[in-house]
């Protein structure tokens, strides 16, 4: 059945599969101490214009969020996130599992607001009982957000300023960073991300790789003995070169952005048709995720022919569903979907 | 300076001090395996009309909440609480420290609503992605609440029903249970609490004891090897008889309720005057905590002469403050306060 | 440079790479809910003669040990392991990270002894203070062990008996299970393992796969909501079919055992030569890991031409090194090594 | 029945009970922010000759060990302790509960050896795989030890040197520090302890107080937001002045040492008799704990008339038992015991 359920339903780009075949006979040292990882890191540093970036490859998103947040957040503190943030909603409590509370701000189309963050911190430190409360210890945002929306450069700069003011590292979840960077209207470059965030990751799982997230510490701030922390969290891949080779491929000839743009183009085409045909877009989002509020009859009709993502019940007669394109979406699939709408 | 800051600013009732003097020369086995603890437990079982209750004495409230919730909540689950619940706000993340998320419901004068709890659980299990989310694994409520309000018997029964429906143990934080049981208009007895809750505690720290909370498991459901779990949480008191002797005293001749009623009487008298003089009571609460919304000038004026509890900024010109009576409040102190109002 | 450093220095068997290529264009549901995972599970159930086995695929060994042990060990308990066990030595504290102590028994060539396990438990429960101590809550052993040695069937049965006596689930780490099953002299079949263990895993990372460990719960004892627990531990792979396809391939036409036997044959050949030439084998082990105690001069000489694994300093003039063959070891490599010995 | 079972079977010294009576009517601010705590801290700073010491009062020993070790040990590290250390054996896994492994060294009459500690660390950092292992992150010793023995000043200085060499804070568990300081032959003063340790505690529970341990950070190294960490661990006492008043009393007129010396005198007298009568002292220890290896018949005979502490089975016919004196032991009790020996 046709599926626009998510952006991680295909294995990997042919270029990656090909590279893996090519290295099939080789022997490499384990745990990422290999030349391919080094090559991939060099390419990522260049793409970020951040020659001192410290880079570590992990396997998946929840694992990455868990390991990073636990490593950068003080023991007495929690992580501030949108109430819709992946770490707050869809990670089965992986953050709390490591002892840290997720402190939530209301979201605005999936984003937190710098002023509200400032107000939150100001109120916290003004509270006479704040030493009995969980300190705001780091800030988590996603670009693109869980709703497919984007922070503007100005918004990121404003959040950065508040982070600096209250001594909170800023962590950007880039599980869909490729789709963010290549979206129509986006004004935030990879260099901007590297300049603004204390640590972020470039998502592979959802953007062309079999798996893999490239964590980037931007200013010599990789936590001490980070490889041990990763191992302790159960997150160290034995055959690290498998991560290296995928990112080395994605960051060769701009492949990462090319395939991401392809997904956005497909989404733009679908959005155009949705608007033409009077569908209600739940959010005004320019990336590969399209949320539509459907009456239940339409929702059921569509799902007889195409697999969509469930988001939430909007009310008794409406449901929010997600149409998700990816690097692997074909023109044919797009046309099939459009025929159903 | 006169203080109505909280209900744990005096050492203990004279009866308790006296009992401690009396046993000063005796030797007891450690960790609660002594005859005084046994005596206290017998008295509490009688007071609860719950002959099979399993009782364990702990030192303080946060410690008790942490140990109990961690012991009764499944590993894959969190605890549902009002967003104003002590475990969510004022325990420095002690619950998350043990790996469990606090799942919040909006409060209504400090209370959760049974229908909203039902809806929360229904929505959870209806969500296609619920296995990636934190299960509602137990329910935490306080009686009296953090705002001094009370659940009615009907409200408790309704919450119990939802707990049973979704297989969640119900835990009642009774840090101020004495003040709840003896408040004007209260319709919930200790027997009711013992019948409705899976586990609850009778607060000593805030009701006459130097320290101590009596945890009551109501139907043979004390977690296996509970003493080991308590030790593991750092919560086992070596000289357990000190806890026993305090509760044995408090549950002799109804002392616990007598001193609690005294505090409520004092609060009622103050409330009466506040209303007469046109003060704004923030909540309609019948127990020993009185919350008033003050303009900042009045707030400052009062605080020059009496120590009050800070609650929160209401807006730029108003602050919510707390007047808290206790078992130790004297008529003289009440009159001094009234003179200042 | 020639390398016998470990058994996870090559990507994967050609059969696996080929299968991945074949499915490159397909779409699959995420998180292991796909038909290939089902097929792989069916094959593993058959290979285990355990039609009710519940199977879950995870990515790596430490992650698997951490998730399993944390899920099957009571909160008040630890895991009993050989002091040389991987969980005790080489996982950066991943077990303690989840709150459980590793309780160690002395090893005998990497193995624990059933009688010593029995004695340990008997002593524990006879100790007047045992409720203040960490209970032995489950038992962890590895087959093959970290030293390449094997438990005999009789030894496993004896350990099983003690586990049953003291109500401790038995968990067998099978990171190198293929090498164990196909070793000369081994008398333990996969069916035996499935019958004796409460849970075990079939290692893929070290036996032909890019990554992956197939966890097998043998009698309906998979922990409740296990997928949520896996997610909470950061261990859930988005593209689960990548795990499925690898195990489906390994369990087709006995590939798993064929490639493991190949590694053992290579090790046998090397062992033969080592003995002929008077080397000291540190352990009498029949699997793909060969430990030799070398004088430092020889150790240095060898390592100029071949990468070996460091084990430990034996004394001031000797070092224990490891020669490790794998499914990928070629006859040519074996001859090159032999020429250096 | 006569009891020499432990040193925490009596409530508190009369001086402490008297002080508590005296303050019974007073109101104090909570959580240790009161003038009595300040007074106690001043006296302790003077007794330690450490004017900059930062002091925090906690309730019990396991709680203190758990909170301190978790606060001073890096996330990727464990705590080094004697295998007989209280944190390793008798705290129900409270250290591992916070995520840290206890790394054990063999004990010598309850003590670790500086050379062995040095060797342990040297071996660790020389291991090619050390980043996959648990780092030695702090060192835990007890003075007096769990076996009643004492470190000499030279031994402590030697351990300190190794701690400095490998950047590990030194934490001294002083649950029985009074008994150590006043033992015959002891050459370590409180000033020495404060100079040598990074953090230590002065035990109250076992030396005259109802409960309470005074944690001393010796050089401005109290962890940031320590009160929040304490609260998070469930270890913050609401009525902190109860801790303050006890230590204020114990550090007035040298009461702490006077009562400790009394216990040691009683133990010396018992030891003298034991030796005269041919008993086997298990350890050569000068403090209030006496370990004797008894044949089982004698052990049973004695225990019919006096409660002793169980230590361990020595062999099939012998048991190690503990005779423990305390500040509360009377001459009469000593004579009664001697009559039984």
Concatenating the DSSP letter of every residue in B79-123 gives EEEETT-HHHHSSTTHHHHTT-PEEEE--BTTB--HHHHHHHHHH
- Select from B215, B232, B250 the last residue of a domain: B250
Residue C27 sits in which domain range? 14-250
CATH number at residue B271: 3.90.1150.10
Q: Taking CB atoms and an 8 Å limit, are A76 and D225 in contact across chains?
A: yes
Read off the pLDDT of each residue in B135-155 and give the average, rounded to a whole number: 98
| pLDDT level of residue C328 (50, 70, 90 thresholds) | very high
Facing residue for D228 by CB, picked from B14, B25, B92? B92
What is the rounded distance in angstroms from the CA atom of residue D201 to the CA atom of residue D61? 9
**Closest C-alpha to D327, from D61, D14, D64, D59:** D14
pLDDT digits (tens, 9 = 90+) for B49-106: 999 999 999 999 999 999 999 999 999 999 999 999 999 999 999 999 999 999 999 9
Same domain for D188 and D334: no
Chains with 3 or more CB pairs under 8 A to chain B: A, C, D
Residue A174 and residue A221 in one domain: yes
Is the peptide bond prior to C144 cis by the omega test (within 30 degrees of 0)? yes
Contact list, D131 vs chain C (CB under 8 Å): 92
CB atoms within 10 A of CB A192: 18
Q: Do A76 and D228 touch (CB under 8 A)?
A: yes
Look at residue B313 and tell me whether its pLDDT is greater than 90: no
Residues C204 and C299 occupy one common structural domain: no
Q: Interior CA angle at A328 toward A327 and A334, to 5°?
A: 100
Question: Which pLDDT belongs to residue C304?
Answer: 95
Q: Is C318 helix (H, G, I), strand (E, B) or coil?
A: strand
What H or E segment, with its residue span, contains residue D313? strand D309-315
Percent of chain D whose predicted confidence (pLDDT) is above 70: 100
> What average pLDDT score do residues D293-311 get?
94
Domain end (from A190, A225, A250): A250
Q: Looking at CA atoms only, how far is residue C142 from chain A in angstroms?
A: 18
> CA A247, CA A253: separation in Å to the nearest integer?
12
For residue range A289-314, list pLDDT tens digits in order. 999 999 999 999 999 999 999 888 88
Same domain, C76 and C113: yes
Contact check, Cβ <8 Å, B131/C224? no
Q: What is the pLDDT of residues D30-45, one digit of tens each?
A: 999 999 999 999 999 9
Q: Which residues of A touch D76 (CB under 8 A)?
A: 224-225, 228-229, 232
User: Which one-letter DSSP state was computed for residue D131?
Assistant: G
Confidence of residue D118 (pLDDT cuts 50, 70, 90): very high
pLDDT for A82 equals 98
In D, which residues are within 8 Å of C99 by CB distance? Answer: 93, 96-99
Answer yes or no: is pLDDT of C204 > 90: yes
User: Between A and C, how many CB-CB pairs are < 8 A?
Assistant: 135
**C295, C159: one domain:** no
The alpha carbon of residue B2 and the mean position of all alpha carbons in its chain are separated, in whole angstroms, by 25
User: Pairing relation of β-strands C318-324 and C289-295?
Assistant: antiparallel
> Out of D71, D132, D232, whose CB is closest to A231?
D132
Q: How far apart are CA A74 and CA D228, in angstroms?
A: 11
Q: What is the DSSP string of A48-62?
A: HT-TT-EEEEES-HH
Which chains are adjacent to chain D, needing at least 3 Cβ pairs under 8 Å?
A, B, C
Averaged confidence pLDDT in chain A: 97
Shortest Cα distance, chain D CAs vs residue A71, angstroms? 8
* Strand duo C77-82 + C102-105: pairing: parallel
Residues C222 and C294 in one domain: no
Mean pLDDT in chain B? Answer: 97
| Per-residue confidence (pLDDT) for residue C1, from 0 to 100 | 86
B223 neighbourhood in chain C, CB within 8 Å: 75
Tens of pLDDT, residue by residue over C143-179, are 999 999 999 999 999 999 999 999 999 999 999 999 9
Cα of first residue to Cα of last residue in chain D, in angstroms, is: 15
Picking from C24, C94, C205, the nearest residue to A232 by CB comes out as: C94
- Are B93 and B19 found together in one domain? yes
pLDDT, position B25: 84
Taking residues D101-109, what's their average pLDDT?
Answer: 98
Q: Does residue A244 register a pLDDT over 90?
A: yes
pLDDT tier at B117, thresholds 50, 70, 90: very high
* Phi, then psi, of C313 in degrees rounded to 5: -70, 125
Q: List chains touching C (3+ CB pairs under 8 A).
A: A, B, D
| Percentage above 90 pLDDT, chain D | 97
Question: Burial, D222: exposed, middle or buried (Cβ in 10 Å; 0-12, 13-18, 19+)?
Answer: buried
Q: Pick the residue from chain C with its C-alpha nearest to B129.
A: C228
| Residues of C in Cβ contact (< 8 Å) with A70 | none
Residue B332, pLDDT score = 97
Whether residues D155 and D168 fall in one domain: yes
C89 contact residues in D (CB cutoff 8 A): 133
CA dist A31 and A11 (Å) reads: 23
- Separation in Å, CA C50 to CA C45, C53, C192, C218, C287: 5, 5, 10, 7, 26
Name the band, by pLDDT with cuts 50, 70 and 90, for residue C223: very high
The answer on pLDDT for C313 being more than 90 is: no
Same domain membership, residue D156 and residue D97: yes
Note the pLDDT of residue C334: 97
Judge: D24–B10 Cβ closer than 8 Å, yes or no.
Answer: yes
Which pLDDT score is estimated for C38? 98
Give yes or no for residue D312 having a pLDDT over 90: no
How many separate domains does chain A show? 2
Q: Which residue among C231, C250, C269 closes a domain?
A: C250
Respond yes or no on whether ipTM tops 0.90.
Answer: yes
Cβ B237 vs Cβ D60: under 8 Å: yes
In this structure, are A203 and A102 located in the same domain? Answer: yes
Do residues A229 and A270 both lie within one domain?
A: no
pLDDT tens, A163-189? 999 999 999 999 999 999 999 999 999
Confidence of residue A2 (pLDDT cuts 50, 70, 90): very high
The answer on C76 and C180 residing in a single domain is yes
């Amino acid at each position: 059945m046709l599926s626009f359920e998510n952006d991680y339903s295909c294995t990997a780009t042919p270029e990656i599969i090909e590279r893996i075949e090519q290295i099939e006979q080789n022997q490499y040292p384990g745990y990422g101490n290999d030349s391919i990882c080094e090559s991939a890191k060099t390419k990522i540093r260049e793409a970020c214009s951040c020659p001192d970036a410290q880079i570590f490859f992990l396997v998946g998103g929840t694992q990455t969020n868990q390991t990073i947040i636990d490593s950068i957040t003080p023991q007495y503190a929690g992580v501030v996130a949108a109430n819709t943030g992946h770490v707050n909603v869809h990670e089965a409590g992986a953050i709390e599992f490591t002892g840290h509370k997720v402190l939530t701000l209301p979201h605005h189309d999936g984003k937190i607001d710098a002023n509200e963050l400032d107000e939150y911190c100001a109120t916290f430190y003004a509270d006479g009982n704040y030493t009995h409360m969980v300190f705001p210890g780091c800030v988590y945002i996603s670009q693109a957000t869980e709703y497919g929306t984007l922070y503007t450069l100005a918004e990121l700069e404003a959040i950065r300023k508040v982070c600096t003011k209250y001594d909170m590292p800023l962590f950007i979840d880039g599980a869909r960073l490729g789709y963010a960077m290549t979206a129509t209207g986006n004004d935030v470059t990879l260099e901007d991300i590297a300049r603004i965030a204390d640590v972020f990751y470039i998502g592979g799982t959802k953007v062309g790789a079999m798996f893999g997230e490239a964590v980037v510490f931007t200013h010599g701030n990789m936590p001490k003995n980070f490889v041990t922390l990763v191992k302790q969290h159960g997150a160290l891949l034995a055959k690290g070169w498998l991560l290296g080779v995928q990112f080395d491929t994605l960051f060769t000839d701009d492949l990462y952005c090319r395939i991401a743009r392809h997904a956005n183009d497909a989404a733009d085409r679908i959005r155009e048709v949705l608007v033409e045909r009077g569908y209600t877009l739940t959010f005004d989002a320019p990336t590969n995720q399209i949320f539509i509020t459907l009456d239940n009859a339409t929702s059921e009709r569509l799902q007889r022919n195409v697999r969509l993502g469930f988001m939430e019940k909007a009310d008794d007669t409406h449901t929010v569903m997600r149409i998700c394109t990816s690097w692997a979406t074909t023109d044919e699939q797009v046309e099939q979907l459009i025929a159903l709408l």
